Structure 1
Amino acid sequence: MAAPMELFCWSGGWGLPSVDLDSLTVLTYARFTGVPLKVHKITNPWRSPSGSLPALRTSNGEVISVPHRIITQLRKEKYNADYDLSARQGADTLAFMSLLEEKLLPVLIHTFWVDTKNYVEVTRKWYAEAMPFPLNFFLPGHMQRQHMERLQLLCGEQRPESEEELEKELYQEARECLTLLSQRLGTQKFFFGDAPASLDAFVFSYLALLLQAKLPSGKLQAHLRGLHNLCTYCSHILSLYFPWDGAEASPPHQTPAAPETEDEPYRRRNQVLSVLAGLVAMVGYALLSGIVSIQRTSPARGLGTRALGMAEEEDEE
C-alpha cells in the first residue's frame, strides 16, 4: 500500500487554519477536493522536507514546494476542483488569477509585511510567539526582507518613486479589484455556482487573511467589510470546510509535547541546528554591536579561554 501524501504548512491563527497565504490556498484546495492528506501544521520551515512552507511529499517521496505545482500534482492524483468547468469558465479562472496576483497580492504583502504598525503588532508578533527559540529572533525579519523583495518584483520598474504615491496607487487598485470580485460573485455561493473551484481557493485565501486579522492599520480591510457578499462568502467557506479551525489556538509551542513519531530523528537534528544557528547569530550580533570585543594579548600573557479525508496534527517544535 502506498504511503499517504503529506502536506507541510504554516500553522493557524486569527481564526484561520493557516496564517500564510500560500499554505491557506493549498489547504483550502485540498479540503474542497477531499484529497486524503496527512497534514503537518508547523511553525518551523526547517522541519519541512524542502526547507520552505508549504511543501507536499507525494506517495513516491517527491517533494513539491510551489503552491501552483502542488495543486497541479493534486490534479494529477485525480483531485481536480475544476473538472466540471467549461472552457469559458477555465478562461475566466486564468483571468481572475492574474488579476489577484497583479492587484491584490502587492497590497496583501504591503499590509502584513511593509506597513510598520501591522508588521510589529500583528505579523511579527504572531511569528515571534509561534516560532521556537532561537528562530523567533531572526527568521521573521528574514521573511520580511523576502516579502519586500517580492513586492519590488511585482511592482516592476514603473513603480512611483514616492512611497506615498506607491501606497496610494496600490490600495486604489486593490479596492477596485475587490469591488469587481464582489460584482462577479453576486448572490452565488461560489464563483462558478454551487460547487467550489480552484479560483475559490485562491480568492478565499486572499480575502480571509484580510478579514480575520485584527489589523491596527486596516485601509483595505474596511473596504472589504463593506462588501457584504464577500464577507458572507468567506464565513460560508470557513464554517463548511474548516468547522474545527475557527477558534483561535494558542501558539503551538505552548501546548503539551506531542508523542514521538517517525519524524523524530529529523526533529532532533533540526533542534540541534536551530540552537547552533541561534548561537552563531547571537554571537555575531554581540560582536558587531560592540557588546563583546576581542583583544589580542602578547605571548607572555598566555592564552585566554534544532478533512475531509485529511488527518491533521499540530506538530510541536
Structure 2
Amino acid sequence: MELYIYSGFDQLPSIDFDCLRIAAYVKFKEIPVKISTNGNPHHSPTGFLPYLKDDNKIVAGYDEIIEFFRSKGFGSGDFISASYEAYFEFQFLPYFRYVLFGDPNNADTTRILYAKRTPFPFNFVYPQKYIKQTSEFLKIVANFSIEDKLIHHNTADMILNAKKYINMLTERIDKKRWFFGGQKPNEFDATIYAAISILLNLQLPINDLKSHITECPNLVNYIDRIRKKYLMDIRVGESEPNPAIFNRVQNVFINKEKGTLSNAVVKTMFGFLTVGAMVFFAISHGILEIVTDDNDNDNAQYYGDDDDSETFGDE
C-alpha cells in the first residue's frame, strides 16, 4: 500500500490537515504503508489529498482511508468517540479552516503553499478547491461568505471557541503522554497533533491562535514528542520563506479598500492561467498538434488525436 500526501517543511511533515493526521495514524498503528510526499490531487477521485493505493484500488479521503484500514484489521476498536469528534468539529474546526483558507490575509499564502506542491499545470486549479470548500463550509457553520466584506466576517465567536478548545486540550493532556493514556497514541491524538502542529508551524500573516498555543507548554511539548517519536522519517521539503514575500501576490487578490477578495481578478487571472497552462501542457505532451497547411503557411490549426493522446495515469 502507498499513501500519497502533500509534503511539509522543517518540523511540519505535511502542510495539509487530513494528510498529516492520516500519516500520523499510519505511524501510530504501524500500518505497513509507504508514505509518498509527492502526491498529485489530479490522481485522486475526489480531487483532494490524501489518497491510498492498494494494488489497483484507490481510496481517497481521510475517513474513507481510516475505514479501509479497519476493514483490513488495522486500528480496529480505536475510534474517536462521537462526542469528542463532534466537539472538535463544532468548537475548533470552523476557525481552523477559516484561518487557513478564509481569512483574505492568509488565503493566498496558503494557496501558494499548495500550488508549490502540485504538479504543473494542476497547480493553477486544485489549490483553489480548498478555498471554495471552506467558503461553502463557512456559509453553513458561520453564516457568512468569504466573499463578504471583512467587517461581515463574524469570527469573534469562532476564535473564542477555538481558544476555549485549546484550553480544554492543555488541561486534559496535563502531564499525560497521550490524551487517552495507553502505551500508544490513538486516532484522537493524530487529529489534535495535525491541527495544532499546522497552526504552530505555518507562517501565516494572521494567526491569532499561534500565540495562544505557545502559552500552553505541555501542549507544545506533546506536539514535539509525537513528531520526534513517530514522524521523523517522513521526507519534507526545504524551509519555507518568510511570508513577507507573498505581499505582492496578496495585493493582487485582496481589495485593500473594501477588505474583500477581488473575485473578478481571481477568476479572470486563474481562467487565463488555467487555459494557457492546459494548452501548453497538451502541446508539449503531444495531445494537441499544430499543423501548418502547405498551401497557406500563415494558417495554423489545432488537431486533437484521440488515439495517440496521453492519459494521466497513476504515479
Q: Is the 8 A contact 1:33 1:81 kept in 2?
A: no
TM-score by length of 2: 0.69
What residue ranges of structure 1 are gaps of 5+ in the alignment?
Answer: 84-89, 252-276, 285-302, 307-316
Q: 1:35 aligns with which of 31, 34, 43?
A: 31
Q: Distance in 1 between matches of 2:41 and 2:5?
A: 8
Change (3 A) 1:165 1:242: same
Q: Is the 8 A contact 2:6 2:117 kept in 1?
A: no
Q: Distance in 2 between matches of 1:147 and 1:99?
A: 19
Amino acid at match of 2:276: M
TM-score by length of 1: 0.69
Change (3 A) 1:150 1:239: same
Which has the larger displacement, 9-18 or 66-75? 9-18
In the TM superposition, what is the alpha-carbon distance from 1:164 to its structure 2 partner? 4.8
Q: 1:110 aligns with which of 84, 98, 116?
A: 98
Q: Is the 8 A contact 1:9 1:23 kept in 2?
A: yes
Q: Is 1:20 matched with 2:16?
A: yes
Where does 1:89-238 land on structure 2 (aligned, <5 Å)? 93-120=81-108, 122-155=109-142, 163-164=151-152, 166-193=154-181, 194-238=183-227
In the TM superposition, what is the alpha-carbon distance from 1:281 to its structure 2 partner? 1.7
What residue ranges of structure 2 are gaps of 5+ in the alignment?
Answer: 241-270, 279-297, 301-309
Question: Cα RMSD (Å) of the superposition?
Answer: 3.3
In the TM superposition, what is the alpha-carbon distance from 1:211 to its structure 2 partner? 0.8
Q: Distance in 1 between matches of 2:81 and 2:20?
A: 18
Q: Is the 8 A contact 2:46 2:60 kept in 1?
A: yes
**Higher relative contact order, structure no. (Cα contacts within 8 Å, ≥ 6 residues apart):** 1
Q: 1:70 aligns with which of 61, 65, 69?
A: 65
Which has the larger displacement, 193-202 or 231-240? 193-202
Which has the larger displacement, 238-247 or 218-227? 238-247
Q: Is the 8 A contact 2:14 2:20 kept in 1?
A: yes
Q: Is the 8 A contact 1:104 1:174 kept in 2?
A: yes
What do the CA deviations read for 1:93-136 (whole angstroms, capped 9, x no partner)?
3322111111221111111111122223x312212333232223
Q: Distance in 1 between matches of 2:5 and 2:213?
A: 26
Number of residue pairs aligned between Structure 1 and Structure 2: 251
Q: What is the identity percentage for the equivalent residue pairs of Structure 1 and Structure 2?
A: 27
Q: Is the 8 A contact 1:239 1:246 kept in 2?
A: no
Q: Distance in 1 between matches of 2:157 and 2:27?
A: 35
Bigger share in helix: 1
Q: Is 1:11 matched with 2:7?
A: yes
Amino acid at match of 1:140: P
In the TM superposition, what is the alpha-carbon distance from 1:282 to its structure 2 partner? 3.0
SS in 2 for 1:190: coil
